[in-house]
Chains A and B, each alone.
Chain A
Amino acid sequence: MPQQSRPSQLFRNLHAKIAAIPMILTAAVVFAGGTLWTVVYSFTNSGLLPRLNFVGLAQYERLWSTPRWLVSIENLFIYGVGMLIFSLVIGFILAALLDQKIRFENTFRTIFLYPFALSFIVTGLVWQWILNPEFGIQGVVRGLGWESFSFNPLYSPDIVIYGILIAALWQSTGLVMCLMLAGLRGIDEEIWKAARVDGIPAWKTYLFVVIPMMRPVFITALVIIATGIVKVYDLVVAQTSGGPGISSEVPAKYVYDMMFSSQNLGQGFAASTMMLLSVLIVVIPWAYLEFGGKKRHG
């Protein structure tokens, strides 16, 4: 932007600046200010009300010695790894199947994607019902004659998180499929012709040529899934409410409960700061890789 007129600097583009006031306020006050505020207060012993009474890392020490938080982290880890692997694999396979110039492609895509329009609350409640031990899948299979059949994740502390994972995968693989499909459509037709001429089987072409070419799509999907994993909250609340006991707790729920029902703000702030940290670990390397070169003139 060329800028010659010195005196009117502040009033240049005045209307644009006025129009951008909500954005400036949001960015500066809520996003930057709010985040900083939470991080600062995570070092205090705030209870019912936020107080600036610094206690160093005490909240974090307490956090990491609370069984419920440790269970939450373990669950988040299992859920996260499961989500990443399965949604990428299933999403890609579905996209590859839809990319075979098939009939009714739109119908299939509509069916695979519709759960994504539903909220996590609806998803959680439906799967709570389907996984109901008496009337759901377990009940049906037992009714067919396999009396000893057992599939009751929502009431088994050891595997409850997998029950949640099933519901989450149902809800969100459609999105990954859509991203992958867009990526596959971006692959040059010539590549396929060349592979066919060389007599390379299709699966090999996918594995060694197409997937490496789709690196940006995979990274985008990865970042979307990863940020979604950390935020998981409504699904757990709807499907299990963290139960049985504390066995399906997740960090986001810990934060909410500490802040709004246990009146233990300091713990909530410390836990949410840990969540922030885990997101930054994913996002910063990605942002660096993707935008690192361009940042200069930004």
Chain B
Amino acid sequence: MADVGALNSADIASDAGTRDLVGPRGARPTRALSRRNIFLYGTLFVVAVYYLLPLYVMIVTSLKGMPEIRLGNVFSPPLEITFEPWVKAWATACTGLNCDGLSRGFWNSVRITVPSVILSIAIASLNGYALSLWRFKGANVFFTILIVGAFIPYQVMLYPIVIILREIGLYGSLSGLVLVHTIFGMPILTLLFRNYFSSVPEELFKAARVDGAGFWGIYFKIMLPMSLPIFVVALILQVTGIWNDFLFGVVYTRPETYPMTVQLNNIVNAVQGVKEYNVNMAATLLTGLVPLIVYFVSGKLFVRGIAAGAVKG
């Protein structure tokens, strides 16, 4: 990875001096405009344009007025930039009878995501800690069920959870959805933390035990402070995952407590009324903004998160 960084900063003048000291290490001062390079960068560039196109379309559409949209096409840049669609999407767009825009969905999503993320990470990190360092009899049986459970389509467990939530009086409430997110985040997060804590040197753990630290003492005083990176990875994984959820939101909440994704879908795919494409795209972009910011800020940690989640999952 350090190699990649050096390659990328190669054109920064200040870097050049230090690089010269190390001397040329690679084997290949090839010509910049070889046929191979034109093909390589050309392909990558075309593909990159393709991947960026939808984002571009979202942005330009959300900045146009409706008359301009009816005249032009989706790719043409706005002649007259207007932020009205954004305001409307946020504050006055209608879903059914409510006309207070996406803002309600946004705050619902915040109220869902924050406690879900905290609760799921707290529980899963304790699970992982118990599974890696304090193994008890039968622990692996439950862990195996948990991991197998990660592959079961959610549809199979949708209705039993409706019953469970109804029995404990949380069906339709935000707390109920928080519980659902905690449950379904558990397999992947537990795995993540278990693998991480397993790599902690055992001497450290033994020394702490000799010094009289117990289960909670070791967790809070030793494991927690030294495993901040994995907590950040878990945080990224959960924030984007829970924010993007649609299925659980639509099943376990009521219209007043719909998360942003569900409300967005209701606004855009509303059957009645004239379609306002600019407002729709502004709303879509608003909903995608949170995970996009998380993605662009977290960079490499995001990749690590999905790799950690994916490779073993």
Please give the residue numbers on chain A whose beta carbons come within 8 Å of chain B beta carbons, in ascending order.
Answer: 1, 9, 12-13, 15-17, 19-20, 22-24, 26-35, 37-39, 41, 50, 94, 97-98, 100-123, 125-130, 132, 135-137, 139-140, 143, 170, 174-175, 178-179, 182, 220, 224, 227, 230-231, 233-234, 237-238, 241, 251-252, 255-256, 259-260, 265, 268-269, 271-273, 275-276, 279, 283, 287, 298
Contact = CB atoms under 8 A, between A and B. Distances in A.
Contacts of B264: 121-122, 125
A256 B157 contact: no
Contacts, number: 283
User: By CB atoms of chain B within 10 A, which of A106, A119, A175 has the most?
Assistant: A119
B216 interface: yes
A172 to B, nearest CB: 11
User: By CB atoms of chain B within 10 A, which of A125, A230, A260, A275 has the most?
Assistant: A125
Given A1-B135, A279-B152, A298-B140, A23 B127 contact: yes
B interface, size bucket: 35 or more
A76 B216 CA distance: 48
A41 B145 CA distance: 21
A105 B134 contact: no
Nearest to B43: A97
13 contacts: A13-B134, A16-B139, A16-B215, A23-B123, A23-B143, A30-B160, A32-B145, A119-B288, A136-B73, A170-B54, A224-B313, A238-B268, A251-B155
Interface in B149-176: 149, 151-161, 163-164
Contacts of B33: none
B161 A30 contact: yes
Nearest to A29: B164
Interface string B6-20: 011011000000000
A28 B183 CA distance: 12
Contacts of B265: 121, 125, 237-238
Given A23-B146, A35-B152, A118 B183 contact: no
Contacts of B231: none
B268 A275 contact: no
Interface stretch (B85-93, B95-103, B197-205, B289-297): B289-297
B73 A135 contact: yes
A27 B145 contact: yes
Interface of B: 4, 7-8, 10-11, 26, 28, 40-41, 43-44, 47-48, 50-55, 57-58, 61, 69-70, 72-75, 123, 126-127, 129-131, 134-137, 139-140, 142-146, 148-149, 151-161, 163-164, 182-183, 186, 190, 214-216, 240, 243-247, 250-251, 261, 264-265, 268-269, 277, 280-281, 284, 287-288, 291-292, 294-296, 299, 302-303, 306-307, 310-311, 313
A103 B127 contact: no
A179 B61 CA distance: 33
A220 B311 CA distance: 6
Q: Sort A-B residue pairs by CB-CB distance and give the 3 closest, nearest first.
A: A119-B244, A31-B149, A16-B134
Given A255-B155, A269-B159, 9 more contacts: A1-B137, A16-B134, A19-B126, A20-B142, A30-B183, A39-B156, A113-B303, A114-B292, A130-B57
A27 B142 contact: yes
Contact of B310 (A102, A103, A220, A279): A220
Given A125-B264, A255-B155, A103 B251 contact: no
A105 B8 contact: yes
A34 B156 contact: yes
B137 to A, nearest CB: 8
Contacts of A108: 44, 48
A32 B149 CA distance: 8
Contacts of B153: 230-231, 252, 272, 275-276, 279
Nearest to B215: A15
B26 A101 contact: yes
Contacts of B8: 103-107
B303 A34 contact: no
Contacts of B144: 298
A178 B303 CA distance: 8
Nearest to B261: A121
A119 B240 CA distance: 8
A112 B48 contact: yes
B291 A16 contact: no
B186 A16 contact: no
Contacts of B292: 114, 117-118
